[in-house]
């Protein structure tokens, strides 16, 4: 299943460093969620919520996603998704890099 049209319409801003057609929405879900939460518009965020669902996005934030999203946007998404601040404490594991930045 391809990325939703609303996200593809913003692909030049969301995925400026990779080709949108190379993104597998399931295999690269964390990458997509990260980019849309950080750089998306209301339209693409709505599509993200419909595509992945609130629970999957909450899991992303709880499992280290707060280290991948702008520090300024973490409180917004935590409040919007009704996640307690202590649930978003970064884990001690190392950050995973983008799946598209490997050589």
Number of Cβ within 10 Å of residue 97's Cβ equals 10
The mean pLDDT of 16-35, rounded to a whole number, is 95
Residue pLDDT, tens place only, 46-100 = 999 999 999 999 999 999 999 999 989 899 999 999 998 778 766 555 555 556 6
State residue 91's pLDDT score: 54
State residue 1's pLDDT score: 80
State residue 87's pLDDT score: 81
Contact in structure between 44 and 13 (CB atoms under 8 Å): no
Q: What is the DSSP string of 43-56?
A: HHHHHHHHHH-HHH
Alpha-carbon separation of residue 35 from 9, 10, 25, 51, 59 (angstroms): 14, 11, 12, 14, 16
The mean pLDDT of 23-38, rounded to a whole number, is 96
What's the pTM value of the predicted model, to 2 decimals? 0.83
CA–CA separation, 39 vs 44, rounded Å? 9
């Amino acid at each position: 299943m391809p990325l939703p049209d609303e996200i593809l319409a913003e692909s030049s801003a969301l995925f400026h460093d990779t080709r949108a057609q190379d993104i597998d929405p399931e295999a690269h879900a964390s990458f997509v969620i990260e980019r849309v939460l950080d750089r998306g518009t209301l339209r693409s965020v709505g599509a993200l919520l419909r595509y992945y669902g609130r629970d999957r996005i909450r899991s992303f934030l709880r499992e280290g996603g707060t280290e991948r999203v702008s520090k300024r946007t973490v409180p917004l998404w935590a409040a919007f998704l009704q996640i307690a601040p202590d649930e978003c404490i970064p884990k001690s594991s190392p950050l995973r890099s983008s799946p598209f930045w490997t050589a």
